[in-house]
Structure 1
């Protein structure tokens, strides 16, 4: 193999890796002690962080369903925010990162979003399904079909 062939092969592999990395978007869950303690789920989409307020701790195991109320989009820079929002400001209270990482979008329609989380606490396939109006969604972890197929042939 000559140097040019080697460089082309190397460049081609790098391009594949870059394309794979582009599929992985930012996600963060911020624990937010505002008037009421809740968790803010944020997914990088369309150049912003699409956001949902989850009143209870996010589901770690399949079978646990949570209400997720869609709230306003946030700038991407907000994914790293931890600190205190001062009294008198919208969302006043302590914000800390509860989980963060990357996710891969599997399906997105007007009423359903399916995504694989690769976080420190949350890992696996998660689903958001819209119900009861525009802002209310159901948030849950999907059962691992591969594991279930192996255990229950």
Structure 2
């Protein structure tokens, strides 16, 4: 198992059928993943819907390019942010809770040290009930803690069309053009 201090995270912008951000945390040898339609925010007043997706292999942290049309998730991807994270979840007695366990129970807190995102965040699970009152699909909220790294005077999410990769400095458009021209 990976050490608590070397866990990695990545946030990719994915221009697929619908533009979204993929928020991925390294947990027990895979990238636990959520699609965040409006992107993570460093403003605590922004509560972002995070829809769980399938786990991805660790190598996917570095993926930047174009997924072909005939494949699932087709579209252009850039690495908007990357870095390390540190679990910060505790039980009622103040003892640390293993990160996978905090995700399993539906509330996980963690500290991000990324190129763009910094400070404490939380993922909290909820269910969207159907109109007839039956329990619907699982979803999560991704929320920035009100810490020193929080912003309050501006929107906390970048414009995905103008955002630049933390790995290469390229935009989605530049990655797509390079792929078409064979320069990957």
Q: Same fold (TM over 0.5)?
A: yes
RMSD value, Cα: 1.9
1:135 to 135, 138, 145: 138
Partner of 2:53: 71
Q: Secondary structure in 2 aligned to 1:23?
A: helix
Flag the structure with larger Rg: 1
Per the TM alignment, residue 134 of structure 1 is displaced from its structure 2 partner at its CA by: 5.4
Per the TM alignment, residue 131 of structure 1 is displaced from its structure 2 partner at its CA by: 0.4
More strand by share: 1
Work out whether 1:112 is the aligned partner of 2:107.
Answer: yes
Structure 2 length normalisation: TM-score?
0.65
Question: With CA pairs under 8 Å and 6+ residues apart, which has the higher RCO, 1 or 2?
Answer: 2
Structure 2: give runs of 5+ residues left out of the alignment.
90-98, 128-135, 151-184
2 CA distance for matches of 1:22 and 1:127? 17
Structure 1: give runs of 5+ residues left out of the alignment.
1-20, 148-153
Runs of 4 or more consecutive aligned structure 1 residues displaced over 3 Å after TM superposition: none
1 CA distance for matches of 2:22 and 2:4? 24
2 CA distance for matches of 1:134 and 1:104? 28
Structure 1 length normalisation: TM-score?
0.78
More helix by share: 1
